[in-house]
Amino acid sequence: MKKDSLTALLRGYRAGKMSLRQVRDRLAVTPYQQLAESTVDLHRELRTGVPEVVFCERKTDDQLVEVFCALGRAHRFVLGTRLDAAVYARVQRRLPERHRFYERARILCVGNPPRPSRGNVLVLTAGSTDIPVAEEAAVVCELLGNRVERCCDVGVAGIHRLNTVIPKMRRARVIVVVAGMDGALPSVIGGLSRVPVIAVPTSVGYGASFRGIAPLLTMLNACAPGVTVVNIDNGFNAGYIASLINRRC
Protein backbone atom coordinates (compact mmCIF):
# COMPACT_ATOMS: atom_id res chain seq x y z
CA MET A 1 0.00 0.00 0.00
CA LYS A 2 1.26 3.46 -0.92
CA LYS A 3 1.50 6.15 1.76
CA ASP A 4 -0.98 8.25 -0.21
CA SER A 5 -3.47 5.36 -0.26
CA LEU A 6 -3.19 4.87 3.50
CA THR A 7 -3.58 8.60 4.09
CA ALA A 8 -6.70 8.69 1.89
CA LEU A 9 -8.11 5.69 3.76
CA LEU A 10 -7.66 7.35 7.16
CA ARG A 11 -9.05 10.65 5.93
CA GLY A 12 -12.08 8.85 4.54
CA TYR A 13 -12.71 7.29 7.96
CA ARG A 14 -12.26 10.63 9.75
CA ALA A 15 -14.69 12.29 7.36
CA GLY A 16 -17.29 9.58 7.98
CA LYS A 17 -17.14 8.22 4.44
CA MET A 18 -16.01 4.78 5.65
CA SER A 19 -16.92 2.69 8.65
CA LEU A 20 -14.33 1.26 11.02
CA ARG A 21 -15.12 -2.21 9.70
CA GLN A 22 -14.49 -1.09 6.12
CA VAL A 23 -11.12 0.33 7.12
CA ARG A 24 -10.20 -2.89 8.95
CA ASP A 25 -11.23 -4.96 5.94
CA ARG A 26 -9.10 -2.87 3.61
CA LEU A 27 -6.06 -3.08 5.86
CA ALA A 28 -6.53 -6.80 6.42
CA VAL A 29 -6.10 -7.67 2.74
CA THR A 30 -3.43 -5.17 1.76
CA PRO A 31 -0.30 -6.27 3.71
CA TYR A 32 0.50 -8.95 1.14
CA GLN A 33 -0.85 -10.52 -2.01
CA GLN A 34 -0.86 -14.25 -2.74
CA LEU A 35 0.13 -15.00 -6.34
CA ALA A 36 0.38 -18.35 -8.10
CA GLU A 37 3.86 -19.15 -6.74
CA SER A 38 4.80 -16.05 -4.75
CA THR A 39 3.55 -13.98 -1.85
CA VAL A 40 4.45 -10.33 -2.35
CA ASP A 41 4.88 -7.92 0.56
CA LEU A 42 2.80 -4.80 -0.15
CA HIS A 43 3.47 -3.02 3.15
CA ARG A 44 7.26 -3.13 3.17
CA GLU A 45 7.51 0.47 1.95
CA LEU A 46 5.38 1.61 4.90
CA ARG A 47 7.68 -0.23 7.31
CA THR A 48 11.11 0.42 5.77
CA GLY A 49 10.69 3.25 3.25
CA VAL A 50 11.56 0.98 0.29
CA PRO A 51 9.22 -1.45 -1.53
CA GLU A 52 10.04 -5.14 -1.69
CA VAL A 53 13.08 -5.74 -3.93
CA VAL A 54 12.80 -8.78 -6.19
CA PHE A 55 15.73 -11.21 -6.43
CA CYS A 56 15.31 -12.33 -10.03
CA GLU A 57 17.85 -15.14 -10.28
CA ARG A 58 16.31 -18.61 -10.80
CA LYS A 59 12.78 -17.26 -11.09
CA THR A 60 10.79 -18.26 -14.17
CA ASP A 61 9.67 -15.71 -16.74
CA ASP A 62 6.05 -16.05 -15.60
CA GLN A 63 6.99 -15.58 -11.95
CA LEU A 64 8.94 -12.41 -12.72
CA VAL A 65 6.19 -10.84 -14.79
CA GLU A 66 3.51 -11.67 -12.23
CA VAL A 67 5.53 -10.31 -9.29
CA PHE A 68 6.57 -7.09 -11.02
CA CYS A 69 3.03 -6.40 -12.21
CA ALA A 70 1.59 -6.97 -8.73
CA LEU A 71 4.18 -4.84 -6.96
CA GLY A 72 4.05 -2.20 -9.68
CA ARG A 73 0.33 -1.67 -9.09
CA ALA A 74 0.96 -1.00 -5.40
CA HIS A 75 4.09 1.19 -5.48
CA ARG A 76 5.61 4.15 -7.31
CA PHE A 77 8.60 2.02 -8.22
CA VAL A 78 9.90 -1.52 -7.72
CA LEU A 79 13.44 -2.86 -8.11
CA GLY A 80 14.66 -6.27 -9.26
CA THR A 81 18.25 -7.49 -8.89
CA ARG A 82 20.33 -10.14 -10.67
CA LEU A 83 18.24 -10.13 -13.84
CA ASP A 84 20.11 -11.55 -16.83
CA ALA A 85 19.89 -9.67 -20.11
CA ALA A 86 18.61 -12.78 -21.89
CA VAL A 87 15.74 -13.13 -19.43
CA TYR A 88 14.92 -9.44 -19.71
CA ALA A 89 14.81 -9.75 -23.50
CA ARG A 90 12.17 -12.47 -23.15
CA VAL A 91 9.92 -10.70 -20.65
CA GLN A 92 10.27 -6.99 -21.44
CA ARG A 93 7.10 -6.79 -23.56
CA ARG A 94 5.04 -8.27 -20.74
CA LEU A 95 6.24 -5.83 -18.10
CA PRO A 96 4.50 -2.57 -17.15
CA GLU A 97 5.12 0.19 -19.66
CA ARG A 98 7.29 2.32 -17.39
CA HIS A 99 10.44 0.34 -16.74
CA ARG A 100 14.19 0.52 -17.31
CA PHE A 101 16.83 -2.20 -17.39
CA TYR A 102 20.41 -1.49 -16.26
CA GLU A 103 22.29 -4.25 -18.05
CA ARG A 104 25.69 -3.90 -16.42
CA ALA A 105 24.20 -3.80 -12.93
CA ARG A 106 21.58 -6.46 -13.86
CA ILE A 107 18.88 -4.32 -12.25
CA LEU A 108 15.31 -3.71 -13.42
CA CYS A 109 13.34 -0.70 -12.23
CA VAL A 110 9.58 -0.66 -12.79
CA GLY A 111 7.84 2.68 -12.27
CA ASN A 112 9.23 6.09 -11.34
CA PRO A 113 12.01 6.14 -8.71
CA PRO A 114 12.82 9.38 -6.86
CA ARG A 115 15.34 11.73 -8.40
CA PRO A 116 18.79 11.55 -6.81
CA SER A 117 18.76 14.40 -4.29
CA ARG A 118 20.77 13.17 -1.30
CA GLY A 119 24.52 12.98 -1.56
CA ASN A 120 27.15 12.07 -1.93
CA VAL A 121 27.88 8.34 -2.00
CA LEU A 122 31.25 7.40 -3.48
CA VAL A 123 31.63 3.95 -5.06
CA LEU A 124 35.21 2.75 -5.62
CA THR A 125 36.53 -0.39 -7.29
CA ALA A 126 39.95 -1.93 -6.82
CA GLY A 127 39.97 -3.25 -10.40
CA SER A 128 37.94 -3.02 -13.59
CA THR A 129 36.74 -6.59 -13.12
CA ASP A 130 34.91 -5.47 -9.97
CA ILE A 131 32.77 -2.97 -11.87
CA PRO A 132 29.61 -5.14 -12.33
CA VAL A 133 29.25 -5.57 -8.54
CA ALA A 134 30.06 -1.90 -8.00
CA GLU A 135 27.43 -0.91 -10.56
CA GLU A 136 24.84 -2.95 -8.69
CA ALA A 137 25.66 -0.92 -5.57
CA ALA A 138 25.77 2.40 -7.41
CA VAL A 139 22.52 1.92 -9.38
CA VAL A 140 20.60 0.73 -6.30
CA CYS A 141 21.85 3.77 -4.40
CA GLU A 142 20.83 6.14 -7.20
CA LEU A 143 17.39 4.58 -7.59
CA LEU A 144 16.80 5.05 -3.87
CA GLY A 145 17.34 8.79 -4.26
CA ASN A 146 21.06 9.32 -3.64
CA ARG A 147 23.71 11.15 -5.65
CA VAL A 148 26.54 8.79 -6.55
CA GLU A 149 30.10 9.32 -7.74
CA ARG A 150 32.08 6.46 -9.26
CA CYS A 151 35.82 5.88 -9.41
CA CYS A 152 37.21 2.68 -10.93
CA ASP A 153 40.48 0.76 -10.89
CA VAL A 154 42.24 2.41 -7.94
CA GLY A 155 43.46 -0.72 -6.11
CA VAL A 156 46.54 -1.14 -3.97
CA ALA A 157 48.63 -2.52 -6.87
CA GLY A 158 48.95 1.14 -7.92
CA ILE A 159 48.17 2.90 -4.69
CA HIS A 160 49.42 6.27 -5.98
CA ARG A 161 46.20 6.42 -8.03
CA LEU A 162 44.30 7.24 -4.85
CA ASN A 163 45.71 10.77 -4.94
CA THR A 164 43.03 11.76 -7.45
CA VAL A 165 40.30 10.10 -5.36
CA ILE A 166 40.91 11.92 -2.07
CA PRO A 167 38.94 15.08 -3.07
CA LYS A 168 35.94 12.85 -3.87
CA MET A 169 36.35 11.11 -0.51
CA ARG A 170 36.14 14.49 1.22
CA ARG A 171 32.79 15.19 -0.49
CA ALA A 172 31.29 11.79 0.33
CA ARG A 173 28.98 10.94 3.22
CA VAL A 174 29.43 7.19 2.67
CA ILE A 175 32.03 5.24 0.69
CA VAL A 176 31.44 1.82 -0.88
CA VAL A 177 34.66 -0.05 -1.73
CA VAL A 178 34.43 -3.08 -4.02
CA ALA A 179 37.47 -5.36 -4.26
CA GLY A 180 38.49 -8.93 -5.00
CA MET A 181 41.94 -10.55 -5.00
CA ASP A 182 43.50 -9.68 -1.59
CA GLY A 183 40.69 -7.28 -0.64
CA ALA A 184 43.09 -4.74 0.86
CA LEU A 185 41.61 -1.52 -0.52
CA PRO A 186 38.80 -0.97 2.07
CA SER A 187 41.29 -0.90 4.96
CA VAL A 188 43.38 1.68 3.13
CA ILE A 189 40.29 3.82 2.44
CA GLY A 190 39.17 3.42 6.04
CA GLY A 191 42.50 4.82 7.20
CA LEU A 192 42.06 7.91 5.02
CA SER A 193 38.35 8.59 5.44
CA ARG A 194 36.20 10.35 8.03
CA VAL A 195 32.94 8.68 6.91
CA PRO A 196 31.59 5.11 7.07
CA VAL A 197 33.15 2.64 4.62
CA ILE A 198 31.15 -0.31 3.30
CA ALA A 199 33.41 -3.07 1.97
CA VAL A 200 32.19 -5.46 -0.71
CA PRO A 201 34.33 -8.54 -1.41
CA THR A 202 34.03 -9.93 -4.93
CA SER A 203 34.66 -13.41 -6.30
CA VAL A 204 37.38 -12.00 -8.59
CA GLY A 205 40.80 -13.62 -8.20
CA TYR A 206 42.98 -16.66 -8.68
CA GLY A 207 42.59 -20.02 -6.91
CA ALA A 208 43.63 -19.02 -3.39
CA SER A 209 41.05 -16.23 -3.33
CA PHE A 210 38.50 -19.07 -2.97
CA ARG A 211 35.85 -17.22 -4.98
CA GLY A 212 35.79 -14.28 -2.61
CA ILE A 213 36.48 -15.94 0.73
CA ALA A 214 40.01 -14.49 0.92
CA PRO A 215 38.97 -10.83 0.37
CA LEU A 216 36.00 -11.36 2.71
CA LEU A 217 38.31 -12.46 5.53
CA THR A 218 40.74 -9.63 4.81
CA MET A 219 37.93 -7.08 5.03
CA LEU A 220 36.55 -8.61 8.23
CA ASN A 221 40.05 -8.28 9.71
CA ALA A 222 40.55 -4.68 8.55
CA CYS A 223 42.67 -2.76 11.06
CA ALA A 224 41.14 0.59 10.08
CA PRO A 225 38.06 1.52 12.14
CA GLY A 226 34.83 2.48 10.44
CA VAL A 227 34.83 -0.38 7.92
CA THR A 228 31.82 -2.68 7.71
CA VAL A 229 31.50 -5.67 5.38
CA VAL A 230 28.68 -7.21 3.32
CA ASN A 231 28.53 -10.62 1.66
CA ILE A 232 30.54 -11.69 -1.38
CA ASP A 233 29.37 -9.94 -4.60
CA ASN A 234 26.47 -8.34 -2.69
CA GLY A 235 26.45 -4.92 -4.32
CA PHE A 236 22.73 -4.60 -3.67
CA ASN A 237 23.09 -4.68 0.10
CA ALA A 238 26.02 -2.27 0.01
CA GLY A 239 23.99 0.24 -1.99
CA TYR A 240 20.96 -0.22 0.26
CA ILE A 241 22.97 0.31 3.47
CA ALA A 242 24.77 3.32 1.97
CA SER A 243 21.36 4.82 1.21
CA LEU A 244 20.16 4.24 4.79
CA ILE A 245 23.27 5.93 6.18
CA ASN A 246 23.06 8.82 3.72
CA ARG A 247 19.39 9.34 4.59
CA ARG A 248 20.34 9.92 8.23
CA CYS A 249 23.15 12.42 7.51
Encode burial over 77-99: b for 16+ CB neighbours within 10 A, e otherwise: bbbbbbbeeebbeebeeebeeeb
- The pLDDT score that the predictor gives to residue 49 is 79
pLDDT at 67 over 70: yes
Are the beta carbons of 126 and 179 closer than 8 angstroms?
Answer: yes
d(CA 127, CA 101): 24
Q: What is the edge-to-edge ordering of all strands in the sheet holding 174-179?
A: 146-151, 118-125, 174-179, 197-201, 227-229
69-115 pLDDT per residue, tens: 888 887 888 999 999 999 999 998 988 888 999 999 999 999 888 88
Residue of higher predicted confidence among 247 and 206 = 206
Distance CA 131, CA 138 (A): 10
Question: Mean pLDDT, to the nearest integer, of 32-45?
Answer: 68
For residue 143, what pLDDT band results from cuts at 50, 70 and 90? very high
pLDDT tens for residues 226-241?
Answer: 999 999 999 999 999 9
- Torsion 232-236-237-242 (CA) sign: positive
The share of the chain scoring above pLDDT 90, in percent, equals 59
Which H helix or E strand runs over 73?
A: helix 61-74
- DSSP annotation of 194 reads S
